[in-house]
Amino acid sequence: MSSDAAATGEGKRFTPNLVLIAQRQAKGWGRDRLAREFERIGRQLDLTTPELGAMAKAIYPHETGRATVRDEIYVRLYCAAFEATPHELFGTLSASAASHRSCGLTSHKFVPVHLGPELLPKLIERANLTPASVQWADCHVGEVEHPGGRCELYAFPWGVAVFHLAEELSVPNIASLAVWRRQTYRETRQWATEWLRETTSSDTPVAHYVLSAYWVHESPWSGLDLETAMRLLSMPRVLLDHGTDEAGPSLHHAELVEQTLLRDGFNDSRIDEFGIRGLSIGCASWAGLSYYPQATGRALRTADLVDCELLVQALWSYCYRVHEQVEQGCDPVVAPEYGWRWIRAVRSRLTMTRPQETAQHAAMRRAVLETSELGRHLTTALELLRDTSGE
């Protein structure tokens, strides 16, 4: 038995099934393990299944979109393995839905981890990081192997490491992205924590969170739908139900919510829009950021967005560590050169518009600072460290 192969051609872009990938990864299974589960389920349900090797080979094209899952045997096996319905795993399979263009985007994941001044030199040496800079901040950077895409690791001298993982995606709707995002966040945090602990030979590093920014380069929406979609992309979790179980969020539920919001509109006071009409659409929220350059030559560059978030997340993690020590009943301890006077200088650099800064970049920076609440965190950390110093 085999699935129908998707039409292929020169330069064809495939649409991966992010839900299938996320469901498998959430269980910690590789493709070979999933094939063995198929074999076990087949015996349990008294199904005549393909050979183990054939099933293992079929999973990759199913996940990457190179083949459509239409064979009833595979539909039943996937549904049984992940305890889900066909709609939850494969979405809307109607001809009208399939004819819609997909959304092409780059997912930028930022994973900050506080290491402190003791572990940072060890990380720089063992990971072979080289000197670099992000805007006005000196740092060290190097590439790290990651199965999902290109991953770079930045080590900032105030004791914070930030992973930047860029993954190229083509999604049929925002709902599938929201499900994939939810189910891969935990895996990404776990991977970052384990990688840093192994590299530094320390149990101290912990990745507490992941922040995403979506750079859209191919939009299936237009007009008001496009504006609504960009707001949803900056806060995709609004599509997901809160009571999700171990099986993960429901794609079917998320698609219904997305259809409703695209029809009725979606506005949220927690979203700060920073695009310039006719040039770009940009949305920032506490949960993430989305950007669509409509006039590529005149809009922001990817590096502008990435550098801004790298700095913001590295500083946010530093402030979080200061607050964490205080909440534990301790006086905050930081390296002398990164005390309250340094924070005061950083706050000024972040909040004051530079003479050569463009209006677009200034608008993005203000939106990211406002929605991340970094300005408030810097002020609080400054006061805590100044009180501790007795000055």
Range name among 41-45, 122-126, 191-195 with the lowest pLDDT average: 41-45
Helices (H), 46-153: 52-64, 72-82, 86-90, 95-98, 116-126
Distances (CA, A) of 351 to 92, 142, 309, 363, 375: 46, 29, 14, 11, 8
Rounded-to-integer distance, Cα 314 and Cα 318, Å: 6
Instruction: Tell me which DSSP letter residue 278 carries.
Output: T
| Structure-block tokens of residue 76 | 């039943």
Range name among 91-105, 191-205, 235-249, 303-317 with the lowest pLDDT average: 91-105
Range name among 36-45, 81-90, 218-227 with the lowest pLDDT average: 81-90
Q: 120 falls in which pLDDT band (50, 70, 90)?
A: very high
The pLDDT of residue 2 = 39
- Find the mean pLDDT for residues 263-269: 91
Phi, psi for 21 (deg, rounded to 5)? -60, -45
**% the chain with pLDDT above 90:** 65
Rounded-to-integer distance, Cα 205 and Cα 332, Å: 18
> What type of residue is 340?
W
Range name among 33-37, 153-157, 274-278 with the lowest pLDDT average: 274-278
β 211-218/288-293 pair status? parallel
Distances (CA, A) of 365 to 13, 107, 270, 306, 310: 33, 19, 16, 11, 12
Mean pLDDT score across all residues of the chain: 88
The pLDDT of residue 100 = 54
β 288-293/150-156 pair status? unpaired
The pLDDT of residue 195 = 97
Evaluate whether 131 touches 138 at the Cβ level (below 8 Å): yes
**Could you tell me which of 100, 78, 73, 80 has the C-alpha nearest to residue 90?**
78
- pTM metric for this prediction: 0.78
Q: Which residue is associated with the tokens 């000197």?
A: 131
The pLDDT of residue 8 = 40
Evaluate whether 125 touches 343 at the Cβ level (below 8 Å): no
Instruction: Tell me which DSSP letter residue 286 carries.
Output: S
Query: What tens digit of pLDDT does each residue of 268-318 get?
Result: 999 999 988 889 999 999 999 999 999 888 899 999 999 999 999 999 999
| pLDDT reading at 87 higher than 80 | no
Rounded-to-integer distance, Cα 108 and Cα 149, Å: 10
Evaluate whether 119 touches 127 at the Cβ level (below 8 Å): no
3-class secondary-structure state, position 169: strand
Phi, psi for 110 (deg, rounded to 5)? -115, 125
- Find the mean pLDDT for residues 344-361: 89
Comparing 94 with 22, the larger pLDDT belongs to 22
Distances (CA, A) of 352 to 26, 112, 287, 365: 43, 24, 24, 10
Phi, psi for 296 (deg, rounded to 5)? -55, -40
| Other residues' Cβ atoms within 10 Å of the Cβ of residue 2 | 14
Phi, psi for 258 (deg, rounded to 5)? -60, -45
Comparing 159 with 16, the larger pLDDT belongs to 159
3-class secondary-structure state, position 273: strand
| Other residues' Cβ atoms within 10 Å of the Cβ of residue 40 | 14
Range name among 288-297, 300-309, 350-359, 371-380 with the lowest pLDDT average: 350-359
